[in-house]
């Protein structure tokens, strides 16, 4: 997969998160179709590349959700562990927990990749 060309004369047409997502998708097959290896390679390739903002993302394939947080403390990321008795074993990821108190929501800390799979304990990398 080739990344789209960046035309500096039209910066308003380029969404950095969209480019990053395409980069991650490119890195997964380049790392033997291993999602964690591809995501890790993309994170390492862009780490220290002059970014000053935060990098939070999540994406899924219908069975697994990958969540990553890097940067500002102003941007939080939480997940709910479906293997600990949530209805139907579901997992969830949110930028702000959806209850009055944090309760069972677990904060993803800086530079953590959390992999959520139905009815399995979260993998925290």
Mean pLDDT in order along the chain per 10 residues (125 residues): 58 70 91 94 77 75 88 76 60 78 86 85 88
Question: Where in the chain does DSSP place strands (E)?
Answer: 55-60, 64-70, 78-80, 92-94, 106-107, 112-117, 123-124
pLDDT, position 19: 80
DSSP label at 28? Answer: H
pLDDT, position 31: 96
pTM: 0.76
pLDDT, position 40: 92
pLDDT, position 63: 86
């Amino acid at each position: 997969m080739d990344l789209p060309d960046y035309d500096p004369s039209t910066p308003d047409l380029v969404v950095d998160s969209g480019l990053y997502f395409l980069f991650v998708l490119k890195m997964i097959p380049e790392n033997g179709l291993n999602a964690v290896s591809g995501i890790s390679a993309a994170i390492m390739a862009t780490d220290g590349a002059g970014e000053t903002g935060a990098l939070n993302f999540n994406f899924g394939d219908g069975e697994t959700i990958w969540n990553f947080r890097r940067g500002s403390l102003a941007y939080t990321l939480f997940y709910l562990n479906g293997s600990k008795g949530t209805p139907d074993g579901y997992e969830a990821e949110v930028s702000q927990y959806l209850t009055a108190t944090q309760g069972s929501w677990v904060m993803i800390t800086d530079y953590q990749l959390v992999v959520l799979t139905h009815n399995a304990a979260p993998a925290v990398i």
